[in-house]
Structure 1
Amino acid sequence: MSVVISQDISDPEKHFSKKRQSKIVEALKIHEILCPENDVPRVALLGSGGGQRAHIGFLGVIRQLGTEHLLGCMQYVAGVSGSTWCMSSLYQEPQWTQHAEEAANKALLSMSEQGEGVTFHDAVEWMKQRYEEGDFSLSDVWGVITCWIKGVSLETRPLMDDKDEKGASPYPLYSAIDKDHKEMWFEFSPHEVGFLEPGAYVKTSLLKRDFEGGKVKPHQPWQRKPMDMVQLQGICGCAMGDLQFIKDTIWHWIHSLSPVIKNARKDPDFTDKIDIVYILADLMENYSDPENSCSELERLKCLLGESYRDFSPTLQGVKLKSWRSQDRKKLVESITDELVASVDKWGPHPDQLLGINGIADVWWVMWHVMPKFFGWTFGTVANFLYKFQDDAIPKEMIQEEQMHLIDAGLYLNSPYPSALRTARDTDLIISFDFSDGDPFETLRVASDYAHKNSHPFPKGDFALDPGCPKSYYVFEERGKPTVIHIPLFNMDNCYDEESIEKERKEYRTFQMPYRDKTKINHLADLAAENVTMNRENILSEIKKAVQRRKHQK
């Protein structure tokens, strides 16, 4: 049987934990905290979601934790959504914690205009592979765009390669949820993946394989590669709650590739067709300019000819004389959707364009990526619980051959469930919260989750003033893990409510990717300041955790 029903952690994780504890003993000595391995506290570092803001903020936090020699005290690093972007980059090297400052600064620099990014051709080639595997979805596209936002090449190493048998770095835990069962927390680790409640897991190497009745099917219809970090980021880090943001970002990405499209326009046989793509991308990016967008619409009509009336009623109904006063964004989106849906009527199939000045890549995206918006399919993965019979598994979870995993932030924007997993015996949770809006919402939802699933969680006032939070909160209760909660923007690093609100507006979750180095560094420094200010507070709680371990004997 390949599917395991258990509340225990895997044997490889237990092996890692033992190795890691010996490393933590040495890290604690730096702070004059002496304890044998049996008394080593289990400390979990959590990073919340929040898109690029969370990515940059978590990099700033981890950089400063390295500077303060606190990173070595952590047993686990767990992330949701934007924080997983940070983790996926750092864990490229198993021993990255030994030079955390350098690794974090490299990732921050890549995000700026100095980053290399993803080439359009490499992106399309990776998506083609996923398409051939048979479960291609919009989350795969988002994984590619995540690498583009981060300014790095495609991170194609398999998740299971992030194994560290020597315990040199904290154990990485990534999170998602099931689209149809949002309270079913799904965890990815280098050794196993699965649902925390009810405790159904398979080896990470088997994820994406076809299952039936708890066993891997002997004959697979196609050979899928193990899940890589591009796919993982697409599932874990895609803000699927905002379809419009995803669409806008993808068109922004296409518009940023205008040099590729311009080069493709050199071919005289397909100039008109590729010009249509170029105009659509430009319209989605610059619809606010009434004169330019009006001119582009006229050119679009000419290129499409009279046939556009058959498949774009919105374009036919546009009144150019009143264009300035109309809702241009909405009209441009409707025109774009209609033309993408009818690409087969005005554009050649990609197979007809192989080798022609990169046109084939552009058309492949038009044919295979853009139509995904209409079905809005995402997070598609083979369901390892298909036809699996066990009373612990809800019947509706075993009926489909595929499952759909999405951004866990849509349910709980911080990976508390992973830290609260009973077998991990966590003593101290240090949660850095990069959420938008109420900075205490994750605490309330985590408390509800813990109560529902019988996990110990400290009581506290989780309805604090969201407008002027402090930089440090501790919630503790006998017999339960202590929780340290640190909001990103607070009265200690922003000084007043007006500044907090200003920073929140500047670093919104749903905005186009920013490359400005000054803006990136400012956010990372603000996040790092929360570590610097609270270094002694964090060490104090670690010392208390050591004492609690000793007294448990």
Structure 2
Amino acid sequence: MALAKVPGTCLLTIRILQAHGLPSKDLVTPSDCYVTLWLPTASSHRFQTRTIRNCRSPVWNQSFHFRIHRQLKNVVELKVFDQDLLTKDDPVLSVLFDAGTLRDGEFRRESFSLSPQSEEWLEVEFRLQSLTDCAERLVSNGILVARELSCLHVQLNKEGDQQGSEGRVQLVIPGSWEGPQETSVGTGSFCFHCPACWEQELSIHLQDAPQEQLKVPLRALPSGQLVRLVFPTSQEPLMEVELKKEEGPRELAVRLGCGPCPEEQAFLSRRRQVVAQALKQVLQLEGDLREDEIPVVAVMATGGGIRAMTALYGQLAGLRDLGLLDCISYITGASGSTWALSNLYEDPDWSQKDLEGPTELLKSQVTKSKLGVLAPRQLRRYRQELAERAQLGHPSCFTNLWALINEALLHDEPHDYKLSDQREALCRGQNPLPIYCALNTKGRNLTTFEFGEWCEFSPYEVGFPKYGAFIPSELFGSEFFMGRLMRRLPESRICFLEGIWSNLYATNLQDSLYWASEPSEFWDRWAQDQASLDKEQVPLLKIEEAPTAAGRIAEFFTDLLTWRPLAQATHNFLYGLQFHKDYFWHPHFSTWKATKLDGLPNQLTPAEPHLCLLDVGYFINTSCPPLLRPTRDVDLILSLDYNLHGAFQQLQLLGQFCREQAIPFPPISPTPEEQLRPGECHRFADPDRPEAPVVLHFPLVNDSFQEYSAPGVRRTPEEKEAGTVNLSSSDSPYHYTKLTYSPEDTDKLLRLARYNICNSREWLLEALREAVQRRRQHRARGPE
């Protein structure tokens, strides 16, 4: 991350010359065309030429000026519109121009057309000139750039002792974080934050007389000095305006860096000592491992609702039985498996204890009736907490309601527990580091998922590896601008994060709440909607109009449900950050599949005020991406898969994703026999790419467990029934729509998961030996 006063401010002049042969959207008259210009690295304002009427080849000859910095990716968007007085203006032509292709002092004329063979074109002149009046302080990781902020304090006073009506006044600085603010004269002071080098102005409007306004160019104000102006209005009393421009906050609250944070590095240093001792014991090594011989081993758990939560308990118990829990440095979870992790990490020493106690607590929650979570008393509590969150400043979104319902499903009482509280479980390196996954997408394209970005949550940080941007976990949900913390909100209880990580299960919740009058009706409707899928396919999120008739339950949440908000909305901590001129070629910037959006910086996540974070199951049911970051250098991944349909399907999708992103990952190519009858454990490796991790894959199967109650212990005829576990994708008691299990089914799943791990002991030990040897070979080769 660089912090410096960087020269490179330039004046970009764009002159819209003319267009030729523009098509008319109106069959009766020629086009009435104008051109808009948008350059968000220089201004929030969209500039516009005058409209030339009834002309297919209009001539504008209008110039526009922008102050830009050459270290930024300055992409100008030019759009030609055909004005229509009755309907929305029709777009005719849209082009992008990268100002970074201009040399200092260059004058260039460009013609943009709809296609190489097109006779319609737009002619534009560009000129770039260096400015020497300022050097701007930039902070960058080579992908994102944080710019300097200026802060303007505004106070409105009545002039003299005059008395009169207190009219409303609106204050506006386009592009400021605060946005428009309304007040009455003399009722307080206001503050605006905006990029320091933008050519902004403060506009003061009288609400009762919109034609009367005062405009003050911010660059004309001396820094650090109080300036008093009199607003010469026609109303009484006159208004005095006090202005003071200052430098905005310098310190970033967003960490711009692609490697692990210092807290994670310190944790790994402590954890390596635990791992080294555990490996020496289980592998029966003669001597101690050197620090650079200690492999990084990780557990990756998929989603799967109550099934994933329950099975993960059983598998972790199996790893503890084998003495392998202390060999693991990371545990990642998605969707349902995050419920198990968030429960376990409430105990700072959970992995050092017998898991029978937590397992019994789990069984009591899995087997209890769920009807009470929609009782009137509970509904009132949900409504009250949602209202309190809205008052604090959190955006209203449907996932928050799902989060409270989900918490009631998994706990008897609300838990005042937060993600940052899990740091206590890491302070001595006594447990693996948990990482939780979500997917950020575009709120307007929830059914297509042509674009997405992995977001990871740990007790230390929340962030986007793609952008190399992270914040402390306790600040997630607070408001940021240009990397600075603008408004700190109280850290959310972890149930609201679980709502994000598992909102796949909220898909039909809205409609079911509308339909139902009683809790039993709600659960019948919800299960019916979910089970309409013959297999565990991913449902599409949909935003629809509310039903005309609402059930009694929906009456508790009229505002929230009538709005039909996005699945999730959280203040975007990347908001306002801009892109480095070479961001696209940064080795840690990963594009999303074949989308073109990653090449359009003006449309990427930092331009959005809110994040739209979803369950990763909408794309791939995996929590593996955090483990594939090269800076974590993971040697061995224990892949715990809870899918009922396709033992290798999600892992193969992950492999395809990694190929598209050029991420080192072994080919997932099970044999036809393995596809037909998968076993408890499968090994995947790539001997030609030593940087790719080895994967031990544990699908959820009922194989030798049918004949053995424990490894090497055959079942008696009386025990045969205990080995029958229905894992069908259609009628299993563990289908993801099932929120309540019988005690017998719960015990079967726990025992099966535990057995499958213990029965794979030799696979696990051999993989650990290989991981140690891999580290030793890497040390022998020396640094590359």
Q: Distance in 2 between matches of 1:466 and 1:228?
A: 42
Does 1:457 pair with 2:665? Answer: yes
Q: Distance in 1 between matches of 2:498 and 2:623?
A: 15
2:760 aligned residue = 534
1:127 to 378, 381, 386: 386
SS in 1 for 2:300: strand
Does 1:425 pair with 2:685? Answer: no
Aligned amino acid, residue 484 of structure 1: L
Change (3 A) 1:516 1:371: farther
Query: Identity percentage over the alignment?
Result: 25
Offset of 1:64 from its aligned partner? 1.8
Aligned amino acid, residue 699 of structure 2: P
Q: Distance in 2 between matches of 1:389 and 1:286?
A: 48
Please, what TM-score do these two structures have when normalized by structure 2? 0.54
Contact 1:162 1:190 (8 Å CA) reproduced: yes
Offset of 1:382 from its aligned partner? 0.5
2:468 aligned residue = 199
CA deviations 1:325-351 (Å, max 9, x no partner) are xxxxxxxxx99932239x8xxxxxxxx
2:611 aligned residue = 403
2:678 aligned residue = 469
2:228 aligned residue = none
SS in 2 for 1:461: coil
CA deviations 1:105-150 (Å, max 9, x no partner) are 1342232446999771554443333232331322112222222222
Matches within 5 A, 1:64-213: 64-113=318-367, 120=378, 122-132=381-391, 133-163=393-423, 164-180=426-442, 182-213=451-482
Q: Distance in 1 between matches of 2:394 and 2:579?
A: 28
Change (3 A) 1:364 1:93: farther
Larger Rg: 2
Change (3 A) 1:214 1:287: closer
Change (3 A) 1:418 1:246: farther
2:739 to 491, 513, 517: 513
Moved more, 437-446 or 10-19: 437-446
Offset of 1:77 from its aligned partner? 0.5
1:543 aligned residue = 769
Q: Which has the higher strand share?
A: 2
Q: Distance in 1 between matches of 2:458 and 2:647?
A: 27
Change (3 A) 1:335 1:142: closer
SS in 2 for 1:239: helix
1:491 to 681, 703, 716: 703
Q: Distance in 1 between matches of 2:301 and 2:343?
A: 14
Does 1:380 pair with 2:569? Answer: yes
Moved more, 107-116 or 10-19: 107-116
Offset of 1:541 from its aligned partner? 0.5
Change (3 A) 1:122 1:414: same
Q: Distance in 2 between matches of 1:285 and 1:460?
A: 39
Q: Distance in 1 between matches of 2:435 and 2:620?
A: 15
Contact 2:398 2:560 (8 Å CA) reproduced: yes
CA deviations 1:186-219 (Å, max 9, x no partner) are 00011111112232222222211111122222xx
Q: Distance in 1 between matches of 2:412 and 2:546?
A: 29
Contact 1:457 1:481 (8 Å CA) reproduced: yes
SS in 1 for 2:259: coil
Offset of 1:179 from its aligned partner? 2.6
Aligned amino acid, residue 567 of structure 2: F
Contact 1:110 1:151 (8 Å CA) reproduced: no
Offset of 1:170 from its aligned partner? 0.2
Change (3 A) 1:67 1:366: same
Change (3 A) 1:103 1:9: farther
2:166 aligned residue = none
5+ residue gaps, structure 1: 256-276, 289-333, 344-361
Change (3 A) 1:491 1:35: same
Contact 1:245 1:510 (8 Å CA) reproduced: no
Offset of 1:363 from its aligned partner? 7.8
Offset of 1:37 from its aligned partner? 3.2
Paired residues, number: 455
CA deviations 1:273-302 (Å, max 9, x no partner) are xxxx44xx45445689xxxxxxxxxxxxxx
1:228 aligned residue = 493
Moved more, 439-448 or 41-50: 439-448
2:276 aligned residue = 25
Offset of 1:539 from its aligned partner? 1.4
CA deviations 1:407-447 (Å, max 9, x no partner) are 01211211110111111110000011002311212222221
1:481 aligned residue = 693
Change (3 A) 1:246 1:419: farther
Change (3 A) 1:469 1:378: same
Offset of 1:537 from its aligned partner? 1.1
1:438 aligned residue = 646
2:548 aligned residue = 338
Change (3 A) 1:251 1:162: farther
Change (3 A) 1:246 1:100: farther
SS in 1 for 2:631: helix
1:261 aligned residue = none
Matches within 5 A, 1:234-249: 234-239=499-504, 243-244=507-508, 247-248=511-512
SS in 1 for 2:557: helix
Contact 2:334 2:502 (8 Å CA) reproduced: yes
Q: Distance in 2 between matches of 1:421 and 1:377?
A: 30
Q: Which has the higher helix share?
A: 1
Q: Distance in 1 between matches of 2:730 and 2:358?
A: 23
Change (3 A) 1:124 1:41: same
Q: Distance in 1 between matches of 2:339 and 2:347?
A: 15
1:357 aligned residue = none
CA RMSD of aligned residues (A): 3.1
Aligned amino acid, residue 21 of structure 1: R
Does 1:367 pair with 2:558? Answer: yes
Offset of 1:536 from its aligned partner? 2.0
1:296 aligned residue = none
Aligned amino acid, residue 13 of structure 1: E
Please, what TM-score do these two structures have when normalized by structure 1? 0.75
Change (3 A) 1:475 1:99: same
Offset of 1:20 from its aligned partner? 0.6
Does 1:522 pair with 2:731? Answer: no
Contact 2:666 2:685 (8 Å CA) reproduced: yes
Contact 1:90 1:104 (8 Å CA) reproduced: yes
CA deviations 1:451-497 (Å, max 9, x no partner) are 233321112415856552111110112312100111012433357xx
Change (3 A) 1:493 1:129: farther
2:164 aligned residue = none
Contact 1:340 1:366 (8 Å CA) reproduced: no
2:155 aligned residue = none
Q: Distance in 2 between matches of 1:226 and 1:335?
A: 32
